[in-house]
Every structure is written in C-alpha cells, then in structure tokens.
Amino acid sequence: MKRIEKTLLALAGAALLGWGGTAQADINVGVSVSATGPAASLGIPEKNTFSLMPTSIGGQKVNYIILDDASDTTTAVANTRKLITEHKVDVVVGSTVTPNSLAMIDAVSEAQVPMISMAASARIVEPMDAKRKWVFKTPQNDIMMALAIASHMQAQGVKTVAYIGFADAYGEGWYGEFNKVAASKGLSVVANERYNRTDTSVTGQVLKIMAARPDAVLVGGSGTPAALPQKTLKERGYAGKFYQTHGVANNDFLRIGGKDVEGTFLPAGPVLVVDQLPADHPARKSAKEYVTKYEAAFGKGSVSTFGGHAWDAGLLLQAAIPVALKKAQPGTPQFRAALRDALEGVKELPGAHGVFTMSPNDHLGLDQRARVMVKIDNGTWKYQP
C-alpha cells in the first residue's frame, strides 16, 4: 500500500512538473503603455507590437497583460502596482514616455520585479543604484542622439541654436544632454523655451526664439505634440534649420506636420530606414524582420521606431527567460531575480534598433550602431550617410 501511495505521489509530482523537471507555471508579462492621450502616436504601435510576440518562451506559456496609462503618470504607477499585486507579473514592460517610466521605478524596485522601459531618458537607468538595479530600457539614450545632432549641426555650418522642449522630464533631459555636447561642436544655445504636451499655442515662446535669430532650432518633444513649435515658427517666417529628437520618428508626426516639417533632420534607430541601410549594417537583418512582421499585420508603411522599442523588449525577454528558467520557476521571487540577472547578462543581441550588450552598470547596452541621421524629404524618411 505504501509503495502504491509513493507511486501516486511520484506521478502527481511529475504531472506538476510537466514530466520535464521544471514547473509549467505561466510567465506573466505586465505592460503599461500610453495607448491614449498625448503620447498615443507612440504607444499605439507599441501596443500593436505585443500582438506579434511569442506566446511561448523556453517551453513555458507567456501571457501579456496590457493596460493603458493614457499618457498619465499617476495612472502608470497605478497600473504598475496592479500588475504586480493582482496579476502577479514576472516582469513589467513600460511605459511609453519618460515621466511615466521614472514614476514607475519605485513600485518595481519595492516589489523586486524587473522592468524594461520603452522611454528614452538616461535617467531611467542612470545613475545605477539599488532601485535602478531592477530597471532596463530599450530606446537609445538622449546623449547618444544629442551627439549625433550636434555633430550634424557642426557639419552643416550651424553656430547658434534655439531650444524648445516639453516642460517635463523629457524636455529637461534633452536640454541637459544637448548642452553637454553643444560647446564641443562650436554651438551656442541662444534660447531655451518650454511648453506642455497638451498646449495648443506656443506663440510667446516662438517670438522669443525669433528674436534670438538662431541658425537652427532643436525641438525637444515627442509624438505629434512636437510638431507645434515647428509649425508656429514656419508661420512666423523662420527660415533656419530644424532638428527634432528621435521622439518624433513615426508617420503620425509626418501627417500632422505636413509641409511644415519638410527638411527636418533627426537621429533615429536603424529600423526607421532599414531598406536604405548598407547591407553590412549589424542591425539591418533583425530590424527587417520586425518591419516585415509588423507591416504584414498592420499594413505597409505602418511601422514606427516606437513599436521597435517594444519589439526589442520582447527580444530581450526571449533571450533572458530561458536562462532564468534554469534557476527558478515563474511566479516566484527567485524567478524574478533570476530574470533580472539574465537581462543584465545579455550580450551582442541584434534588435530593431541596434545590438544590445548589457552589464551591471549599463542597463541599455546600445552603442553607436544604434543610431543614424535621417531627413524628412517629400513626406518620407531619408537616410543620411
């Protein structure tokens, strides 16, 4: 009788372990994305991209729980706490924008749940500390893109620059990063203005910029709200050069900006101009895979760099989850810690935006292979060699 009981217990244990020695618990990925609100043009392609991600990784089922934070910081934090406490997620991906992502850090670090942000500011992962130990991100750091802009300005003969950016962490961060590199390229910042993402007029700020008579204007914004200063400057007759950040690299910006954004220069991830890249570009193959899958699902020309940030988060998880599964089972603190460690150990992983190599002090892992300069020409993106 005891032998039968032992056999039944063994069979039950094997069933729980899926006959393979590892628990068959689902992996829950929590996502907070700005699918509505001012950042919707960024968040919608990110949300769409999750529908293309694998539902099984390392032999385990993966569930994606997606919540809309409506581009609102308070909602993003509430979403994060809900994903952790109610949905018991193993990792959080989000948010779309910098202020939301910065606000989410406390929640994930307290719960010791790894997070992969799809927002740009370096402050999301720097300086490394006990909280940011749990946080990673996929978009290029602002300093990398700021250097690309400053170098291009120098080559174009620009000497004076006016800056106008969002009155939030994104705009402040971009001003700080551009200021770090401007002088080294012989650039003088002659105006520094701010506006809110939801503003409908920037006439006052534009008049101050016009009075400074800059050779070029850099707009530190993202999504469709970044078109407002440029359209207003054009209306006022400004004829200098325009630069935008990689925060505008989607077709909605082209649609809203129209003729007013023609000739604009910006840095972007390789995915934006993948078909124009040299054949030996290290991200061309991986970026092309994403573009092909996205356009097959959502139509030709529908892809944007922002969806690429979500795709790269998915690639990081596909690389890290099998490693973490060797140490612990999903749904446990041990698995979350192992997943954090595995993300930190990713090496030379090609993505839509570049090649990722993480380390304990670098939770972005991208280098100069992750950016190209682009010009808006006849309503399309043109690669600038």
Q: How far apart are CA 64 and CA 51, in angstroms?
A: 9
Same domain assignment for residues 175 and 160: yes
pLDDT at 5: 45
Q: How, if at all, do strands 216-220 and 188-195 pair?
A: unpaired
Q: In sequence order, which residues have a C-beta less than 8 Å from that of residue 255 and are 6 or more positions away?
A: none
Q: Is residue 21 part of a domain?
A: no
pLDDT bracket for residue 3 (50, 70, 90): very low
Lookup: tokens for 370: 């992750």
Q: Are residues 320 and 359 in the same domain?
A: yes
**Is the residue at 304 inside a domain?**
yes
Q: Tell me what pLDDT residue 24 has.
A: 59
Residue 170 has pLDDT above 70, yes or no: yes
Answer yes or no: do 344 and 296 share one domain.
yes
Residues 146 and 130 occupy one common structural domain: no
Residue range 286-305: average pLDDT? 96
Which of 303, 231, 317, 319 is CA-nearest to residue 268?
303
pLDDT band at 18 (very low <50, low <70, confident <90, very high): very low
Q: What is the pLDDT of residue 19?
A: 35
Q: Looking at 86-141, list the stretches that DSSP marks H as alpha helix, in order from N- to C-terminal side.
A: 98-111
Same domain, 154 and 251: yes
Same domain, 112 and 180: no
* Residue 14 predicted with pLDDT over 90: no
Q: Which two tokens stand for residue 312?
A: 């790269």
Same-domain status, 134 and 146: no
Query: Is 17 among the domain residues?
Result: no
| Tens digits of residue pLDDT in 320-378 | 999 999 999 999 999 999 999 999 999 999 999 999 999 999 999 999 899 999 999 99
Flag whether 293 is in a domain. yes
d(CA 376, CA 117): 27
CA quadruple 210, 215, 218, 223: dihedral positive or negative?
positive
- Over pLDDT 90: what percentage of the chain? 90
The residue from 211, 233, 268 where one domain ends is 268
List the beta bridge partners of residue 349. Answer: 356
**pLDDT mean over 196-225:** 97
Structure tokens at 108: 């994930």
* pLDDT recorded at residue 178: 97
Strands (E), 223-321: 241-244, 265-268
Domain count, the chain: 2
157 and 264 housed in the same domain: yes
Q: How far apart are CA 227 and CA 231, in angstroms?
A: 6
In a domain, 19, yes or no: no
Q: Write the pLDDT tens digit of every residue in 27-66.
A: 999 999 999 999 999 999 999 999 999 999 999 999 999 9
**Confidence tier at 250 by pLDDT (50, 70, 90):** confident
| Residues 294, 254 share a domain | no
pLDDT per position as a tens digit, 121-137: 899 999 999 999 999 99
- What is the pTM for the complete model shown? 0.85
Q: Is residue 282 part of a domain?
A: no
Q: Phi and psi at residue 365, in whole multiples of 5°? A: 80, 10
- Convert the pLDDT of each residue in 214-229 to its tens digit: 999 999 999 999 999 9
Same domain, 50 and 108: yes
Single-letter residue type at 385 = P
Regarding whether 109 and 53 lie in a shared domain, the answer is: yes
Range 165-194 average pLDDT = 96
Distance CA 90, CA 120 (A): 23
Work out the mean pLDDT of the chain and round it to a whole number: 93
- Residue 127: exposure state from Cβ atoms within 10 A (0-12, 13-18, ≥19): exposed
Tell me the CATH number at 357. 3.40.50.2300
Between CA 324 and CA 84 the distance in angstroms is: 19
Distance from C-alpha of 91 to C-alpha of 190, rounded to nearest angstrom: 44
Domain containing residue 321:
27-140+287-367
C-alpha–C-alpha distance, residues 236 and 260, integer Å: 12
Q: At 82, which amino acid appears?
A: K
Contacts of 367 (CB under 8 A, 6+ apart): 354, 355, 357
Residue 250: strand, helix, or coil: coil
| Residue 2 belongs to a domain | no
The answer to the question of residue 10 being in a domain is no
Same domain (yes/no): 126, 157: no
Q: Given a cut of 70, is residue 6 above it in pLDDT?
A: no
Q: What is d(CA 324, CA 340) in angstroms, rounded to the nearest whole number?
A: 8
Distance CA 311, CA 31 (A): 13
What CA–CA distance (Å, rounded) separates 84 from 91? 9
Tell me the per-residue pLDDT of 76-108, one tens digit each, with 9 for 90 and over. 999 999 999 999 999 999 999 999 999 999 999
- What pLDDT is stored for residue 20 in this prediction? 40
